[in-house]
Amino acid sequence: MYGTSRHFAEQYRKTGVSAKVTEADPHRLISLLFEGASQRIRLAQAGLAQGNPASKGKAIGEACAIIGHLNGSLDHEAGGEVAANLSSLYDYIVRRLTEANLHNDGMALAESLDLLGEIESAWNAIPQAQRAMAVAP
């Protein structure tokens, strides 16, 4: 469903999340990207609560970048309808994050975090034996 692990490792390093990505398998790298995006949304929530628009905006921008990367990495040929549905959901999350940034909308941040958490949970629930099929080598 997703592309190469090298590309994920590169994106993960760019987001500044600290972890060893060189030893992680492709499935774990995508999980780390989900974690990084969720962490950024929580930072945005904190920035909003503290009245810090710069912190909020930076965190939302980073979350959008990670989600955009996940969206751009979908393999629509192999993933078919599932990849198309995920792409639509990622687009929606990015729109909600953008609205949250523009309107200081805590509900939009919470909704985005919940949706991303549901995708992450589904991803992590993929049985070990099927994980190689979900990520292209």
| Of 10-19, 84-93, 114-123, minimum mean pLDDT range | 10-19
Residue range 51-89, pLDDT digits in tens: 999 999 999 999 999 999 999 999 999 889 999 999 999
- By CB atoms closer than 10 A (0-12, 13-18, 19+), residue 28 is middle
Q: pTM of the prediction? A: 0.82
Q: 104 near 97, Cβ under 8 Å?
A: no
Phi and psi, residue 135, nearest 5°: -125, 125
**Which pair of tokens denotes residue 52?**
């810090």
Q: Is the pLDDT of residue 9 over 80?
A: no
Q: 4 near 93, Cβ under 8 Å?
A: no
**Which pair of tokens denotes residue 46?**
């904190």
Choose between 4 and 51: higher pLDDT.
Answer: 51
Q: Is the pLDDT of residue 13 over 60?
A: no
Kindly report the CA angle at 28 between 77 and 89, in degrees rounded to 5? 50
Choose between 129 and 52: higher pLDDT.
Answer: 52
User: Could you tell me the CATH superfamily of domain 5-134?
Assistant: Flagellar protein FliS (1.20.120.340)
Kindly report the CA angle at 4 between 130 and 120, in degrees rounded to 5? 55
- Please identify which residue in the block is written with the tokens 């628009």: 53
What is the mean pLDDT of the segment spanning 28-56? 96
| Of 10-14, 94-98, 99-103, 109-113, minimum mean pLDDT range | 10-14
- AA letter at 57: G
